Amino acid sequence: MRKNYLSVIAFAILLLFVIQSMGTLVESIYILDLMNSRLDEKALGVLFFFVPVLLLPFFKRNQRGLAWVLFALLLVTRGMMPCLGTTSRLPAAGVATVASLGLLFLLITAIPRWGRWAGAGLALAVGLSALLRTVGHGIEYSLTPEGGWAGWVLGVLLGLSLALADLKRDLAAQQTGGRQTLPVLGIYFVLTLVYFSVSAPAVIARWTEGNYTLIVAAVSLFSLGWAWLLTRQPKLPDRINPALLAAWNLLFTATLTLTLLAHRVTFPTTLDSPPVVVEAPTFLQMIPPAFMLVLFPVLFIDLHVFIQKMQAGTQPARSLAPGMLLGGLVLIVLVFVNIFSNVWGYIEPVSPPFRNTFWLAYFLLSGGITLLAWLSARRQVADEAEPEGTRSWAWAGLLAVLLVITVVFALPVKPVQEDAAGKTSLRAMTFNTQQSNDDFAEKSFEAQLALIRQVSPDILAMQETDSTRISLNNNDYVRYFADKLGYYSYYGPKTLAGTYGTAILSRYPLENTRTVFIYSDKDETGVAEAEVEVGGLHFTIFDVHPDSSDAAMLVFAQTLVFRAEDEPNVIALGDFNLRDYEAAYQVVDTTLINTWTSVYPSEVSPDGVDMSGENRIDHIFLSPNLKAVNPMYILPPESATDHPVHWTDVVWDIP
């Protein structure tokens, strides 16, 4: 295989590992720390982003040996990550981040000719990431225990690419680099934005409630298409006029920002404010994301420009240090800006100003790339000595196969067809999944799936499901559960709304899905609502997860009751964060029937499950015309989360 293709493959896998390692590091810190609404010493894990600068003094000493040491560290730590517990995964991800970033900068500074293929490598990396996430039904497949083998295979391919590229000869070249700080910072900006967004197409789908298959297909097509184009025409980025590149970046920044602002929710501002109902997006709301998906490949050109700017002169490796330190700092700050927009009510006094500012981190990233690319490209001189790429049908065929596989896995999973006619009962279940982590801060999505299958609910309300964000490594657990179960699903509040998530899954088609936002002063209260038809009756489902002051919780309860009064068959379930002695609970309990106390007035079941007093905040309420039969709670740790899992059979009289 020609060395240009080896360079592209090596860069693709390496950049993919950079994105995966950074994402896993942030996720591990969040699970251990911020998920518990506190900052402690585990947050110092972000310091791993600064460690690559310590490798710079070794860049001129036995570069080939350093490259293989970094590769070995990366191979082992990245390969082991899927099998490690969260506490061990954090340092492993940190070391993998250090090794991958160190190897990246070693290659692009010590092998000038390789830098020309970095843009194509990033395009292929995005295509591979989209593939792995669709194969995993919304979860990064190679980072799961089941798919961990894929990480080892990719690591071996990276090693083979490095070996076949004859590092010994190429690394003998003098290290090169011009003015380093701005282009190095630009590289960090590009990698951060890719990690935050397009590397996981489900992120964009959950921002917008857009068609998942179309979004995945667009990301895969444009990524793999540009990987082919940039290997076929390696001089293309140098031929793009700086003014055109600036305009392209500005348009991308505008469409990305408009995408987020168009789907931003204007929350109720006072206790007396009416609820805000958000339904399916309109055609106009979907215009900005459509243009954004067409324009995002500018990031591949930007990476090329930044690397070429670095290689425009000769400077020692230490000249990379300011850019790497500043890049690491910017990455950390923007990670916290993004996360604080979601947990704004919990990390006072730092987080409250970031309420409803989800768009901010993306605007700063894309706007920063625009400015840095313009500064780097305006004096850029094309290298006419670089030969044009050659046509390779094998290469085009490989990219086409990756595209087809990605799109096939992105096609909707056909739900299991259940006959709702003649039914006189259904099973409703509420499950606070804690972002699919158990009470010991370990990933538990497989155990949770097994428990759901055991209970086999008809209606499943899930809370704390808003995981398709960087804090949970952009994993879409709602899609994973829906696909594995063959259920219909409604994700509930979009990820940019800043809730912890209320998703509804059902054996029966969900109709009239919407999210109702109620005034809150701590955590956005977004109630997911949907309707199903079973046994000739229409049921209205309310999935709730409020968490606010007593006054705001009372408003929530009154709003829920008001919206339920006009519905004949209501099932309101979720993590109410209310105990039966609280005023807000009593407002709901006077109108709707609590399934547990209606069967067990003592709040203790015959088998001794005591759900009295402080023990019970996860509830199922029914309309008075419905009846609960055999309600059940399963307590942690058997629940595979930090909450009890609660379900009941709901029966009704045949009209």
- For residues 44 and 594, the model is more confident at 594
Kindly state whether residues 203 and 290 are assigned to the same domain: yes
The rounded distance, in Å, linking the Cα atoms of 204 and 120 is: 22
CB atoms within 10 A of CB 601: 8
Together in a domain, 368 and 432: no
Q: Clarify whether residues 402 and 429 are in a common domain.
A: no
Residue 452: domain span: 425-651
HSE at residue 244, side-chain half, CA atoms within 13 A, is: 7
Q: How many CB atoms lie within 10 A of CB 282?
A: 9
Same domain, yes or no: 392 and 496: no
Both ends of the chain: CA-CA distance in Å?
72
Instruction: List, for residues 89-137, the tens digit of each pLDDT value.
Output: 999 999 999 999 999 999 888 877 777 889 999 999 999 999 999 999 9
What share of the chain in percent tops pLDDT 90? 78
| Residue 415 maps to a domain | no
Distance CA 168, CA 190 (A): 29
Within a domain: 417: no
The pLDDT value recorded for residue 2 is 65
Helix, strand, or coil here: 622? strand
Cβ–Cβ contacts within 10 Å for residue 399, how many? 21
Alpha helices in 165-234 (DSSP H): 167-170, 181-196, 201-208, 212-232
CA distance 107 to 533: 60
Same domain, 624 and 476: yes
CATH of the domain at 477: 3.60.10.10
Asked whether the beta carbons of 545 and 492 are under 8 A apart, the reply is no
Among 410, 440, 463, which residue terminates a domain? 410
Other Cβ atoms within 10 Å of 459 Cβ, number: 27
pLDDT digits (tens, 9 = 90+) for 602-618: 999 999 999 998 889 99
Q: What is the mean pLDDT of residues 80-88?
A: 96
User: For residue 643, with 0-12 CB atoms within 10 Å meaning exposed, 13-18 middle and 19 or more buried, which class applies?
Assistant: buried
Percent of the chain with pLDDT over 70: 93
- 379 contacts: CB under 8 Å, gap ≥ 6: none
Read off the pTM: 0.94
Position 298 scores a pLDDT of 98
Residue 492 falls inside a structural domain: yes
Q: For residues 143 and 262, what is the distance between their CA atoms, to the nearest angstrom?
A: 33
Q: What is the arithmetic mean of pLDDT over 74-95?
A: 96
Q: Which of 410, 443, 467 is the C-terminal boundary of a domain?
A: 410
pLDDT, tens digit, for every residue of 480-512? 999 999 999 999 999 999 898 999 999 999 999
Quick: pLDDT tens for 271-304: 999 999 999 999 999 999 999 999 999 999 999 9
Mean pLDDT calculated for residue range 456-466 = 97
Whether 419 is covered by a domain: the verdict is no
Note the residue count of the chain: 655
Q: What is the pLDDT of residues 383-394, one digit of tens each?
A: 545 445 556 888
Residue-wise pLDDT tens digits, 142-166: 999 999 999 999 999 999 988 887 6
Q: Which residues contact 19 (CB under 8 A, 6 or more apart)?
A: 125, 129, 191, 194, 195, 199
- pLDDT at 372 > cutoff 60: yes
pLDDT higher than 60, residue 244: yes
Q: Which residue, 410, 444, 477, sits at the end of a domain? A: 410
Q: Does residue 475 surpass a pLDDT of 50?
A: yes
Residue-wise pLDDT tens digits, 158-188: 999 888 876 655 554 444 445 689 999 999 9
Q: What's the whole-number mean pLDDT along residues 363-369?
A: 97
CA distances from 194 to 19, 294, 297, 334, 550 (A): 8, 15, 10, 13, 41
Identify the pLDDT of residue 209. 96
Band of the pLDDT at 343, cuts 50, 70, 90? confident
Per-residue pLDDT tens for 616-647? 999 999 999 999 999 999 999 999 999 999 99
**Is residue 537 helix, strand or coil?**
strand
Query: Residue 25: inside a domain, yes or no?
Result: yes
The verdict on 251 and 370 lying in the same domain is yes
Does residue 438 sit in the same domain as residue 464? yes
> Which tokens go with 309?
């700017």
Tell me, yes or no, whether 273 lies in a domain.
no
Q: Same domain, yes or no, for 439 and 298?
A: no
More confident residue, 319 or 412: 412
460 and 525 share one domain: yes
Q: Per mean pLDDT, which range of 9-23, 261-275, 348-362 is the poorest? A: 348-362
Please tell me whether residues 614 and 468 are part of one structural domain: yes
Report how many domains make up the chain: 2
Tell me the average pLDDT of the chain. Answer: 92
CATH of residue 73's domain is: 1.20.1250
DSSP 456: -
Q: Assess contact for 345 and 152: CB atoms under 8 A.
A: no
Taking Cα atoms as reference points, which of 342, 492, 504, 529 lies closest to residue 431? 504
